[in-house]
Structure 1
Amino acid sequence: MDRSSHTLACLFAQLGLNNSDEQITQFIEQNRGIADEVVIYEATIWNSAQASFLQEALAQDSDWAEIVDSLDAQLRH
């Protein structure tokens, strides 16, 4: 199992999104405001593959889960 520490840039690359600092900031700013009752992978900003990856990362408490949680927090506030 890969136990490396993943970054937000790595997560964005894994999701097939542009992972430059500017693009990550822009994505978060444009999509901020996910309601508290919406689970991150159910947000409408993801395609089905991205949502599945996020759901699996959290369900399996994989090494991606911590950075997914970090992104989740950034998208809510």
Structure 2
Amino acid sequence: MELTTPTLETLFDQLGLDSDQASIDAFVASHQLPEGVKLSEADFWTQSQGHFLKEELREDAEWAPIVDELNTLLHASR
């Protein structure tokens, strides 16, 4: 039984992305989404990444709070 609480770093690991803070910051800076584009439907995800994000939010699963945090970061006005 895994007792690790998901974090932004472990979400990036789960998505197969570099998960150090500098890589996360760079990803967020270069992947801002316009209002109205759902996180899971962004064109930079693979089909499986988008499906994972959508399902975690839909099911309000363990990853949902972190997926929501990523959604907020990618929709932030800069």
Same fold (TM > 0.5): yes
RCO greater where, 1 or 2, for CA within 8 Å and sep 6 or more? 1
Shift of 1:71: 0.4
Q: Secondary structure at the match of 1:9?
A: helix
Deviations along 1:13-53, one digit per CA (max 9) or x if unpaired, are 00000101110110000102x12211110011101010010
Stretches (4+) displaced over 3 A: 1-4
CA distance in 2, matches of 1:29, 1:38: 16
2:34 is aligned with 1:35: yes
- Counting aligned pairs with the same residue, the percent is 37
For residue 5 of structure 1, what is the aligned residue in structure 2? Answer: 5
Between the two proteins, the alignment pairs up a number of residues equal to 76
CA RMSD of aligned residues (A): 1.4
For residue 58 of structure 1, what is the aligned residue in structure 2? Answer: 57
When the two structures are superposed, what TM-score results if normalisation uses the length of structure 1? 0.90
Where structure 1 has 5 or more consecutive residues not aligned to the other structure, the ranges are none
When the two structures are superposed, what TM-score results if normalisation uses the length of structure 2? 0.89
CA distance in 1, matches of 2:61, 2:4: 11
For residue 47 of structure 1, what is the aligned residue in structure 2? Answer: 46
